[in-house]
Amino acid sequence: MSEEAETPDAHDGTAATREQMLASLLDATRELMMARDADAICQVAVDAASDRLGYELVGIHLPPGAPWTEQDADTDARAGLEPVAWTDALVDIIGQSPPPTIEPDSGVAWESFEQGTLRVYDDLQTADIELMDPETAFRSELHVPLGRHGLLLIGSAEVDEFDAEDIYFARILAANTTAALDNLASRRAVELREQELARQNRRLEEFAGVISHDLRNPLAIAQASLEMTLADDGTNELEKTRDALDRMEALVDGLLTLAREGRAVGDTSAVNIVTVAERAWATVETGDARLETEPMPELRADADRFQQLLENLFRNSVEHGATGGQPEADTPATLTVTVGPLADGAGFYVADDGRGIPEAERESVFEHGISTAGGTGLGLTIVRTIAEAHGWTVTVTESDGGGARFEFRIDER
């Protein structure tokens, strides 16, 4: 027995019939959510309108490439609406298969989609509207937008065909179809993002390989030769060369970190900021500097990347904060580094009481290669990339002690 034969009369208005119709639409909704692409979703919706709700003249039109993701929703917003699914009775009455595309500004159907408004026409022949086909055999028409995705069209050759019950059920079907298209667009966005990340990772791995092979190998040879020469005569020039090679090696290490890790963040979990800060402090050569922490709520983060962020900040404070980048300050002064919560929002700060960062240089310190104490200039770049990978924003200002204060703000939306 066909579904059509079992379908209750949608127009008798009884409570029992409404319950049956709603149950029937629920079954259709399950099929909508299981459909794998836009064509399949639209066909399920058209079949539901025809077999379950009893409409003969049904069609769905979508823009090319729909469903669009949020990122590309405005790329070609006026490309027209192409037919995706329709009933046989529809093509029979209009005498064209597939049905025509709804071009921009071609009539009321386009207006209904563009304005996102449901419209009911009791008699197209007497309505003061612009029709895409003035000779249409349709007399009644129901336009139900599918969000930004397209338009559900239900027609009839009879006047005054659609009542409040029809509109009610058509809204439900359209809402469920829109939800299925939204879900498909979200899945597509995730897939595109994963593909882009995979391409980025391949490029970064290639870059890392070039650095490792083309820089590390000759660098190792130069260092070995230099050590042999220094054993014979420790000239100042060779000492300078060794310093330069050491700096090159540090640069390679920093570049490899950026290339291999980039902006990627692994699985996040609730981490204890104080615990991670103490662990990071233990891995850094801090001399006489001291770490102080304040009670803080847990933070969702990739624990390893978060520890790396703190290590770079602590190293920056010790190397730059105490000496201020002055070559004559060979021995770092006593320095206190504090990690605590922000007072005016979600987030945390890392501050020191060292020499600080001049206001004019606070933005540039995050740029590649910017250093004030002979370092690689990549430490704070890595800090920013890790922060942004977590969705945090980082700014630098002056601490209460006159040193540098890095603030990390977390968007809790």
Which tens digits make up the pLDDT trace of 118-164?
Answer: 999 998 888 878 777 777 888 899 999 999 899 999 999 999 999 99
**Cα separation values, 346 from 294, 309, 342, 343, 400, Å:** 15, 18, 6, 8, 20
Domains of the chain: 3-188 (3.30.450.40), 266-413 (3.30.565.10)
Long-range pairs of 15-20 with CB within 8 A, sequence gap ≥ 24? 18/165
Query: Helix, strand, coil % (nearest 5) of the chain?
Result: 45, 15, 35
CA atoms of 343 and 346, how far apart (whole Å): 8
What's the token pair of residue 138?
A: 């349709």
Q: Is 1 helix (H, G, I), strand (E, B) or coil?
A: coil
CA atoms of 393 and 168, how far apart (whole Å): 46
Phi first, then psi: what are they for 98, rounded to 5°? -75, 170
- For residue 260, the number of C-alpha atoms closer than 13 Å in the C-beta half-sphere is 12
- Is the pLDDT confidence value at 71 over 80? no
pLDDT digits (tens, 9 = 90+) for 260-319: 555 556 778 999 999 999 999 998 888 889 999 999 999 999 888 898 899 889 988 888
Q: Tell me what pLDDT residue 268 has.
A: 84
Long-range pairs of 216-222 with CB within 8 A, sequence gap ≥ 24? 216/252, 219/245, 219/248, 219/249, 219/252
% of the chain with per-residue pLDDT over 90 = 39
- Residue range 382-407: average pLDDT? 90
- For residue 98, the number of C-alpha atoms closer than 13 Å in the C-beta half-sphere is 12
The β-bridge partners of 140 are 156
Q: Tell me what pLDDT residue 216 has.
A: 66
Q: Tell me what pLDDT residue 380 has.
A: 82
Instruction: Give the residue from 269, 163, 251, 258 showing the smallest Cα distance to 204.
Output: 258
What's the token pair of residue 141?
A: 């028409």
Q: Tell me what pLDDT residue 213 has.
A: 60
Element (H, E) at 397: strand 392-398
pLDDT digits (tens, 9 = 90+) for 81-123: 999 999 999 999 988 899 999 999 888 899 999 999 999 999 8
Residue 66: pLDDT band with limits 50, 70, 90: confident
Q: Tell me what pLDDT residue 171 has.
A: 94
Q: Tell me what pLDDT residue 371 has.
A: 46
b/e 183-211 (16+ beta carbons within 10 angstroms → b): ebbeebbeeeeeeeeeeeeeebeebbeeb
pLDDT digits (tens, 9 = 90+) for 206-241: 656 655 665 666 677 677 777 777 676 656 656 666
What does the DSSP 8-state code read for residue 328?
A: T
Element (H, E) at 190: helix 164-210
What's the token pair of residue 223?
A: 């260092």
- Residue range 2-14: average pLDDT? 48
Name the pairing type of β-strands 269-271 and 290-293: unpaired
- Residue range 183-197: average pLDDT? 85
% of the chain with per-residue pLDDT over 70 = 74
Q: Tell me what pLDDT residue 288 has.
A: 87
- Is the pLDDT confidence value at 12 over 90? no
Q: Tell me what pLDDT residue 406 has.
A: 95
- Is the pLDDT confidence value at 369 over 60? no
CA atoms of 9 and 53, how far apart (whole Å): 8
Q: Look up the pTM and report it.
A: 0.50
CA angle 17, 23, 26 (to 5 degrees): 145
Q: Is 192 helix (H, G, I), strand (E, B) or coil?
A: helix
Element (H, E) at 339: strand 336-341
- Residue range 404-411: average pLDDT? 92
- Strand 404-410: give its sheet, edge to edge: 290-293, 336-341, 347-352, 404-410, 392-398
- Contact criterion met (CB below 8 Å) for 284 and 318: yes
First to last CA, the chain: 51
User: What is the average pLDDT value for the chain, to the nearest integer?
Assistant: 80
Element (H, E) at 386: helix 379-389
- Is the pLDDT confidence value at 399 over 90? yes
Q: Tell me what pLDDT residue 57 has.
A: 95
Residue 379: pLDDT band with limits 50, 70, 90: low
Residue 251: pLDDT band with limits 50, 70, 90: low
- Contact criterion met (CB below 8 Å) for 102 and 81: yes
Beta-carbon neighbour count of residue 43 at 10 Å?
Answer: 17
Residue 364: pLDDT band with limits 50, 70, 90: confident
Using the structure block, give the residue that is written with the tokens 């058509």. Answer: 170
